[in-house]
Amino acid sequence: MAELKYDEKGRLLFTKEMKDEGYTILAPTMIPTHFNIIKNVFIHYGYHIELLDMCGPEVAQAGLKYVHNDTCYPALLVIGQFICALQSGKYDENKVALMITQTGGGCRASNYIFLLRKALKKAGYPQVPVISLSMGMEKNSGFHLTIPLIRRFVAGLVYGDALMLLRNQIQPYEINKGDCQAIIDRWTDKLTVEFAKGDSYRIKEMDAYLQQICEEFSKVKVNKVPKVKVGVVGEIYVKYARLANNDLESFLAQQDCEVNVPGILGFALFKVDNRIEDIKLYGGSALKYKVCKILFDYVEKLEGLLIKHTSAYGFTPPGKYSHIKELVKPVIGYGSKMGEGWLLTAEMLELAETGYENIVCTQPFGCLPNHINGKGAIRKIKEINPKANIVTIDYDPGAPKVNQENRIKLMLAVAKEELEK
């Protein structure tokens, strides 16, 4: 066990000695397709990362035991998952660290890391360090986000978006079940090797690989029969993580639906664009504006590659960020940026516009930004697009799964009537 070191505020640090000793770093899973690629990027840089994907009622119960029950549902689940992993006996509690994102915004998610540290002490694990996955909000000698790592990280998000989008559009119709997952597994392995060699994350290479990925999916044998098309939006963790939404995508697949879950690139652009909009609205550093604009233009260029290739092979491309932003302009201001902010409203407008007018809006109970930008925007969305068929579902430890699914089934009943017409 490495010597424990603390900063001047008493925060336990993840040190270089811990990294060199091969500490296992546990991280929660949110989007398996993306996270498996990104996990391998971190492994290449010497971090022994494991993704936690345990589900079940014991996770929420552990969260409730060590976190106040009024805490944001995603925080309760993630912290409960960490505690369950430490209590499982699978890991050496003296050679393990935890990693969690830290946004720094007005959302309660900014406090997850502090809640986690408090829960660890309460559960008897004060020696377990917590790593902040953020842009320099906390520093640890054993963990650094370098430019090469960040570029591979961003590339992993692009490939993840491509694989998720194509799977969702092909898997419901595939004749040979498992074809789509086989392509995802093959490309995850291939990209891991390519990243390690220093390839596949530059724009020219990504252009070629995205074309190859789309070509492979276009060759999957399908039986295109009419299906109800459903979009899924909401708070980012509840929208993507099966632990948080009771495996919503699988449930919708069982109901014979084609599901569209907007990718992570739009959210990344939204977060960078917020910094630019803040400067436009309230003033700020010209240098910060320039840096954010360079980053925004880079990610937007990657989005353009994804749109180009998916469109070329006849798939429904992801919504272009600039178009989505324009759609929401008459509905809500760009200053609404807590949580998913105006992007949540915009994604519903874009889904309804592209044929996924049946929408499940997932939200943690009591998440004010989501209630305003999600449930609060429904009437206006329906005025703009009368075909929009939206149901909002609250998720928290006390919400019965059967009630959630029955409400979704009512929405689907309306959708099936429209499909038959």
Domain of residue 88, CATH code: 3.40.50
pTM of the predicted model, to two decimals?
0.93
- The region that residue 10 occupies, defined by phi over 0 for left and psi between -120 and 50 for alpha, beta otherwise, is left
Query: Taken in order 409, 414, 417, 421, is the CA torsion positive or negative?
Result: negative
Residues spanned by the domain of 421: 226-262+319-421
Tell me which of 83, 110, 143 is where a domain ends: 143
CA pair distance 292, 96, nearest whole angstrom: 35
Q: Looking at the predicted structure, is the pLDDT value of residue 103 above 80?
A: no
Report the number of distinct structural domains present in the chain.
2
Q: What is the pLDDT of residues 139-184, one digit of tens each?
A: 899 999 899 999 999 999 999 999 999 999 999 999 999 999 999 9
Q: Are 238 and 99 found together in one domain? A: no
Q: Are 117 and 230 found together in one domain? A: no
CA pair distance 211, 131, nearest whole angstrom: 36
Q: Looking at the predicted structure, is the pLDDT value of residue 101 above 90?
A: no
**Is 2 part of any domain?**
no
Tell me, what's the pLDDT at 47? 94
Tell me which of 143, 163, 192 is where a domain ends: 143
DSSP characters over 113-153: HHHHHHHHHHHT-TT--EEEESSSSS-BTTB---HHHHHHH
**Is 100 part of any domain?**
yes
**Is 24 part of any domain?**
yes
Residue 233 contacts residue 359 (beta carbons within 8 Å): yes
Q: Looking at the predicted structure, is the pLDDT value of residue 330 above 70?
A: yes
Minimal CA–CA distance to 378: which of 399, 396, 398, 363?
Answer: 363
Tell me the three state secondary structure of residue 221: coil
Tell me which of 143, 165, 193 is where a domain ends: 143
Q: Are 237 and 330 found together in one domain? A: yes
Tell me the three state secondary structure of residue 145: coil
Q: Looking at the predicted structure, is the pLDDT value of residue 324 above 90?
A: yes
The shares of helix, strand and coil residues in the chain, as percent rounded to the nearest 5, are: 55, 10, 30
**Is 79 part of any domain?**
yes
**Is 267 part of any domain?**
no
